[in-house]
Amino acid sequence: MPELRTEEMVINMGPQHPSTHGVLRVELVLDGEIVVDAIPHIGYLHRCFEKHSESMNDYQQVIPYVDRMDYVAAISNELGFAIAMERMLGIEVSERVECIRVIFAELQRIASHLVAIGTYGLDIGAFTPFLHCFRDRERILDIFESTCGARLLYNYIWVGGLSHDVPTDFKDKVRDFVQYFPPKIKEYNDLLTYNKIFIDRTADVGVLPADVALNYASSGPILRGSGVNWDLRRDDPYSIYDQFEFDVVVGKGEMGTVGDCWDRYIVRVREMEQSIRIIAQAVERMPDEGDVKAAVPKRIRPPEGEIYARTETPRGELGYYIISDGSMSPYRVKARSPCFVNLSVLPAISRGSMVSDVVAIVGSIDIVLGEIDR
Amino acid sequence: MKRYFKDIWDSFYTIGIGMGVTFRHLFTKSVTIQYPDVKLELTDRARNRLYVNMDDCIGCDQCSKACPVNCITIETVKAVPPDDLGVTSTGNPKRLWVTKFDIDIAKCCYCALCVYPCPTECIKMTDVYEFSEFDRHNLLYNFSTMTPAEVENAAMKFEKWQADKAAAKKETTDKKKAAGEKPQPKKQETGDSNKNNPPDENKSES
Amino acid sequence: MVETLEQFLPHPLLALFIHAALPMVIVFPYVLFAVWLERKVSAHMQDRLGPMRTGGWHGWSQTIADMIKMIQKEDIVPSRSDKFLFKFAPFLAFMGSYAAFAVIPFSSEYIGAHLDVGAFYILAVTSIVTLSILMAGWASNNKWSLLGAMRTSAQIVSYEIPTVVAVLSVIVATGTLNLMTISEMQSGTIFNWLIFHSPFLFIAFVLYFISSLAEVNRTPFDLPESESELVGGFHTEYSGMRWGMFMLTEYADMFLVSLLGSVLFFGGWNSPFGDFMSGPIWGVFWMISKGMFFIFVMMWLRWTLPRLRVDQLMDVCWKYLIPFAFVNLVLVALWEMIF
């Protein structure tokens, strides 16, 4: 019927939409249910992190702001900033501090991935895994709370050390969790990962080939989901990650094509297993005695200069570019946000898919808007 | 064709497994608690509402400087000789009237950065977390124990003392020689907290 | 039953009215109960407790409180909507669903209308719900609602085919469309129920159950609503009591397909123990408990499974359910010829 007039429909997904994980707005151009184009619009959560940092009296005061970037994985953000500053100041921290940092960063990685896979189930329509994930995340947050008193925004890792020493029963608690958690991963797999409907929804959807992923400079589980074997913990070791034994998980296209949503999802699930391995090693390694504040400088006054330090957060490569003019407050703090870079891949992989697939793709990229907009 | 039947089998099988998981959970004990009736015990490191023990505060302004969101406002007036404010429980002498110690808890980000530099350990985070208010202005906590009359009195005394001192100084300088130099121009700005507290700053650094 | 009522009441119309309102006495408390049950089932599956306060024991009156709240809410009609359609759609939805209860035999003594084409009537009259959803989606003047409404019409029109064919298998086996007669044929022990009549009727039941899930928009086929994609779909713009009507319809529909399933396959109002615990009053009890069992299974599925995509939904219908349903129908017919 040539006389039948059809037109494309432009529809706004977000900023108030349950599946955009915050306040992302995706402008969808639809042909029926087929996505012709998807244009992400960001900035609804912009809080001037970088400008704020410049007006701080002290480098230490930047850390509470850093917490609020990727609020699902605050420890990882702090770790990156602390490492950047320590390199700038030339501070060496003790083995005990490094071990606690690694344990915390990996626990935080598990907590963050639990949110990611839980909300991913929610995007696909399964409600129950979400609350099961949050149940287990609470256990991690309990460990954090008993150590530093906060559950979400910790201000725990300081430049040169930690804000609190760990409580006396810390090792037991972490060992308990290491025991408790692996059976739960199996439960998530039973309930969600290998569910036929879930596989149908995610396999062969939003395929991101390795070369495209590299061209877009994506990192973290997105890049590894596309089969690129790249993990900063192994390839550019920071802290004491080079002394632990763990595997870098990559997507293999078990259920469909390499680089589809299911691969990105399964990379997260298996990374949790690897994190458990690292935690188990770190707990055994951790010395019992030692002052965690021994290397904390009285005044942080770095020499004039600049530094770029990058770490592997649960979402990818988080880099801090810090310029110091020799004064007490930073001249410039720039954060290379993994979510922002990863999100830029969205239009490329969602063209030609359906509306429901866009939800699945956004979920599999696992963005945190606090970090994108900063 | 084989794939077709395998898909059907997979669907039923995986759905069955999933249903088994949820059915087991139907009878497991719930992990949630009935919040206002039952409350979790917080750890002693819990970081919630700020509290200031004014008896120990020496008005050194360290916490206010450490705060990344500027939620603490402190104003002080120097105590003049006849008044002795005593010492804090940690033994630090108190030299300033703390005329204003406001914490805007609505701005507070619970980072606890103000707690560490305090020389007398008078500002601390408590485990009180239920302090919501209908009016945001009620979240501006005034910790200063001084009444407005007392504040005015202290300010007046200081001004008088200052004037006396300036007069005395002037007398001595006039006696010595008539150079037009003013001895302490900065001291004129009374009540401005930032300029009135140098005596204690060094102590807190140690 | 109408005759009995007419003897006591001054006017025959009044008797008819009361007679017509009787299913309401069951449906309305049932919906309140089912919403509460859904909350409880979902909560316990997720290691939570669900509503615990309202009314005391396990928050039993939570839905009553919610209903009172909904009645009190402001009736919001979007300014650019098609006002008449927007206001009318919820009532049409409930009308379609309630009308179908007329031919459900709640007990050996009570059936709203003793129709000879009861099964056919139900299948026909429940299609009105599609119309009302389409109406609601269009009248809201909201793109998300429109997408939801379009999905619904595609979904329900497609899934009616396997439903009808599965029901047809029963009709082939029993030789009647009259639901009361079908129920009566299954009296006696549990083995007289049609589900045990032949293996192919068991398959027919599975097909019926799956496609009825899609008919009433339950997970994994809840695409019209799909709260994480379409943010509620056709009822995004509704609030207060009009939204409550859609909710009522959804749960009434669930009840309807569950009751129809138990009439067609599980003996209707018959007791599973033969003469033990049987009779008109026990009939109502058995009918409702069988219905509640299927509703529980629906909830169980909902809180376990993710949601299908719209093209996969059509795949399931056209590539799996419909071929199976037709082959099964032929096999049922052969079974009836041979035995």
Q: What is the pLDDT of residues B131-190, one digit of tens each?
A: 888 888 888 888 877 777 777 887 788 888 888 888 888 777 777 666 555 444 444 444
A119: nearest Cα among A365, A300, A373, A327: A365
Residue A50 and residue A334 in contact, taking contact as beta carbons nearer than 8 Å: yes
Q: Predicted confidence band at B82 (pLDDT cuts at 50, 70, 90)?
A: low
- Distance, in Å, from the CA atom of B99 to the CA atom of A245, rounded to the nearest integer, reads 59
| Position with higher pLDDT, C6 vs A252 | A252
User: DSSP state, C321?
Assistant: I
With H, G, I as helix, E, B as strand and everything else as coil, classify residue A101: helix
Test mutation, B32, B113, B126, chain A, max A CBs within 10 A: B113
Domain count along chain C: 1
Query: How far apart, in Å, are the Cα atoms of B54 and each of A352, B58, B120, B140, B193?
Result: 65, 8, 11, 16, 16
Best mutation target among B30, B31, B33, B37 (most C Cβ atoms within 10 Å) is: B30
pLDDT at site B179: 58
Interatomic CA distance for residues C224 and C234, integer angstroms: 7
Alpha-helical (H) ranges within A196-260 are 196-202, 210-215, 221-225, 232-235
Hey, is the C-beta of A201 within 8 angstroms of any chain C C-beta? yes
**Of the candidates C326, C308, C309, which has an alpha carbon nearest to the alpha carbon of residue C318?**
C326
* Mean pLDDT score across all residues of chain B: 76
Cβ contact B15–A197 (<8 Å): yes
Model confidence at C2, in pLDDT bands (50, 70, 90)?
A: low
> What is the average pLDDT across A357-374?
86
Q: Do B22 and A128 touch (CB under 8 A)?
A: yes
Give the model confidence (pLDDT) of B28-59 as tens digits: 888 888 888 888 888 888 888 888 888 788 87
Q: Is residue C147 part of a domain?
A: yes
A235-279 residue pLDDT tens: 888 888 888 888 888 888 888 888 888 988 999 999 999 999 999
φ, ψ of residue A326 in degrees (nearest 5)? 85, 0
pLDDT at B197 over 50: no
Asked if residue C47 belongs to a domain, the reply is no
pLDDT (average), residues A84-110: 88
3-state SS of chain B?
Answer: CHHHHHHHHHHHHHHHHHHHHHHHHHCCCCCCCCCCCCCCCCCCCCCCCEEECCCCCCCCCHHHHHCCCCCEEEEEEECCCCCCCCECCCCCECCEEEEEEEEECCCCCCCCCCCCCCCCCCEEECCCCCCCCCCHHHHEEECCCCCHHHHHHHHHHHHHHHHHHHHHHHHHHHHHCCCCCCCCHHHHCCCCHHHCCHHHHHHHHC
C296, C37 contact by CB (below 8 A): yes
- Closest chain B C-alpha to A235 CA, distance in angstroms: 33
Q: What fold is seen in the domain B50-151?
A: Alpha-Beta Plaits (3.30.70)
Section B1-12 average pLDDT:
85
What pLDDT score was predicted for residue B200?
35
Query: Does residue A83 belong to the interface with chain C, where contact is any CB pair within 8 Å?
Result: no
Question: Which residues have CB under 8 Å from B91's CB, separation 6+?
Answer: none
Q: Which residues of A touch C312 (CB under 8 A)?
A: 200-201
Largest CA distance in chain C: 64
Band the pLDDT of C1: cuts 50, 70, 90.
Answer: low
Contact A201 C229 (CB under 8 A): no
Residue B137, min C-alpha distance to chain A (Å): 23
Tell me which residues of chain C, numbers 21 to 60, contact chain B at a CB-CB cutoff of 8 Å: 41, 43-49, 52-53
Nearest CA to C210 among C331, C336, C297? Answer: C297
Q: How far is CA B23 from the centre of its chain?
A: 50
End-to-end alpha-carbon separation of chain C, Å?
A: 37
Q: For residue B125, which residues of chain A lie inside 8 Å, CB to CB?
A: 149
pLDDT of res. B205: 32
A149 pLDDT higher than 50: yes
Helix axis angle, B2-26 to A128-148, nearest 10°: 50
One-letter amino acid at B190 equals: T
Give the C-alpha separation, C254 to B51, whole Å: 56
Distance, C-alpha A137 to centroid of its chain: 15
Query: What pLDDT does A2 receive?
Result: 65
What pLDDT, on a 0 to 100 scale, did the predictor assign at position A354?
Answer: 85
Q: Of C46, C220, C227, which is closest to A132 when you measure between CB atoms?
A: C46
Rounded to whole angstroms, the Cα distance separating C148 from C151 reads: 5
Percentage with pLDDT > 70 across chain B? 83
Maximum pairwise Cα distance, chain B: 115
Q: Which of A61, A156, A200 to mutate to test the interface with B (most CBs of B within 10 A)?
A: A61
First to last CA, chain B: 80
In whole angstroms, what is the distance from residue A127 CA to residue C250 CA? 19
Does residue A287 have a pLDDT over 50?
A: yes
Nearest to C126 by CA among C297, C267, C254: C254
Residue B203's pLDDT is 33
Does residue B194 surpass a pLDDT of 70?
no
Do the beta carbons of residue A171 and residue A133 sit within 8 Å? no
Domain of C301 in residue numbering reads as: 73-338
Q: Which residue has the higher pLDDT, C56 or C47?
A: C47
| CB proximity list for A191: less than 8 A, separation 6 or greater | A126, A128, A129, A132, B18, B21, B22, C304
pLDDT surpassing 60 at residue A322: yes
**Contact B26/C44, CB-based, under 8 Å?**
yes
pLDDT digits 0-9 by tens, C128-181: 888 888 888 888 888 888 888 888 888 888 888 888 888 888 888 888 888 888
Taking the C-alpha atoms of residue A99 and residue A11, their distance in angstroms, rounded to an integer, is: 49
For residues A41 and A13, give the distance between their C-alpha atoms in angstroms, rounded to a whole number: 10
- The predicted pLDDT at position B181 comes to 52
Q: Which residues of chain B neighbour A188 with C-beta distances below 8 Å?
A: none
Pairwise CA distance, residues C200 & C203, whole Å: 5
pLDDT beyond 80 at A1: no
What is the pLDDT averaged over residues C47-52?
Answer: 85
pLDDT in tens, C30-45: 888 888 888 888 888 8
What DSSP designation does C307 have? -
Beta bridge partners of C43: none
Task: Tell me whether residue C151 is in a domain.
Answer: yes
Secondary structure class of A239 (helix, strand, coil): coil
Is C69 a residue whose pLDDT tops 70?
A: yes
Quick one: closest CA in A to C47, which residue?
A132
Please answer yes or no on whether C49 and B21 come within 8 Å at the CB atom. no
Mean pLDDT in residue range A104-123:
90
Q: Is the pLDDT of residue C277 over 80?
A: no
C225, part of any domain: yes
What is the DSSP code string of C189-239? BGGGSGGGT-HHHHHHHHHHHHHHHHHTT-TTS-TTT-TTTTTTGGGTT--
pLDDT in tens, C203-228: 888 889 888 888 888 878 887 776 66
Helix axes C322-338, C199-215, angle to 10 degrees: 150
Q: Do C231 and A359 touch (CB under 8 A)?
A: no
pLDDT at residue B180, as a whole number: 56
CA nearest neighbour of C260 among C143, C118, C109, C52: C118
Location of structure tokens 């997408």: C147
Say if A328 is an interface residue toward chain B (CB within 8 Å).
no
